Each structure stands twice: as C-alpha cells, then as structure tokens.
C-alpha cells in the first residue's frame, strides 16, 4: 500500500489531502495517516499547506488559519524511489 500511495502522489503535482488520498485508495483515514506519517519521516513525502509552501519550514504551523481551514496536503518528494 505504501507503493500505491507514492504512485498516487506522483501523478498529483499539487498534492492531495488526507481525505482525498483515503478516498482514492478506498482506505480508512487513520490507516492512510499512519502511512503518510511514516513516509514523511523517511523523507519520501512532504507536508505542504494549501498555498503550496512546505509547512515544516514555516514555524507558524500551529497558528496558521489557512492551514486550519483547508488542511495539509501531501506531495511526493522529488527524486525519491518507491
């Protein structure tokens, strides 16, 4: 399923939300979130905000009203293998 998730994000340059990924994979959000967390930790995915910028570099993640309203998106990190 990890490879399926990476392939899904490879074809979506603007990234997808947790809900969108769960729907596409027909999987429970909690299971998808666990996979996303693992892939972010391994450096294969990036968390981005709705504006396309990387949330981990901002420093205001906990105070971001745009992020709270629209949620994080996930993209495949360039040049990573499955």
Per-residue pLDDT tens over the stretch 57-66:
555 555 555 5
CATH number reported for the structural domain that contains residue 44 in this entry: 1.10.10
Owning domain of residue 62: 2-76
pTM greater than 0.85 (yes/no) = no
Q: What is the pLDDT of residue 48?
A: 77
Domain count, the chain: 1
Residue 34 placed within a domain: yes
Q: Has residue 71 got a pLDDT over 80?
A: no
Residue 82 placed within a domain: no
Residue 81 placed within a domain: no
Residue 38 placed within a domain: yes
- Which phi and psi (to 5°) does residue 16 adopt? -135, 155
H/E run at residue 48: strand 45-48
3-state secondary structure (DSSP) of residue 54: strand
Measured CA distances, 79 to 38, 63, 75 (Å): 18, 31, 12
């Amino acid at each position: 399923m990890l490879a399926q998730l990476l392939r899904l994000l490879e074809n979506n340059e603007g990234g997808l939300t947790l809900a969108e990924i769960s729907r596409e994979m027909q999987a429970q959000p909690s299971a998808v979130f666990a996979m996303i967390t693992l892939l972010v930790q391994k450096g294969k995915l990036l968390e981005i905000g709705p504006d396309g910028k990387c949330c981990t570099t901002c420093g205001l993640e906990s105070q971001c009203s745009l992020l709270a309203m629209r949620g994080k998106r996930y993209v495949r990190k360039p040049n990573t293998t499955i």
